[in-house]
Structure 1
Amino acid sequence: MGISAAELEKAMAGVEAFNLRSSEAVKTLPPFRLGKFLIEVSSFHRGLVSNGTAIPEHQHPNYEFSFCSEGMFTAFCDELKVVCSPDNKNIFFLPPATLHRKTHAKADYIHAASMVLMINGVDEAGQQLIPRFQEYVLKKKCTFRLTPNLESIFSEIRHQAEHHTFLSRDVIASLIQSFLTLFFQQNFASLMEPAPVPESSPEAISRRCRIADIKLSVVTRMNAKTSLKDFEGIFKLSGRHLNRIFKKETGQSLMHYYLLLKLKNAQNLLSDTDIPVSEIANSLHFKSAAYFSMFFRKHCHCSPSEYRAIHHPSGR
Structure 2
Amino acid sequence: MSSNDNINIDDLEKPYFVWFEENWIHDDVLHQHQKGQLVYVESGFQYITIEERIYLLPQNHAAWIPSNAIHKTNSHSETIKLMIMFADVDHNDPFYHEVNVFSVPPVLKEMIKYAEKWSKIVTKDHNETLFLKALFNELPRFVETSLRLHICLPKDKRLIKVIEYLHDHYHHEIKIEDIGDIALLSLRTLERIFKKETGLTLSKYQQMLRIIKSLELLSSAHHTVSEIAHKVGYKSVQAYTRSFHSVMRFRPTDFMKNIK
Q: Same fold (TM over 0.5)?
A: no
Report the TM-score when normalising by structure 2.
0.43
Which is greater in Rg? 1
Task: Identify, as 1 or 2, the structure richer in helix.
Answer: 1
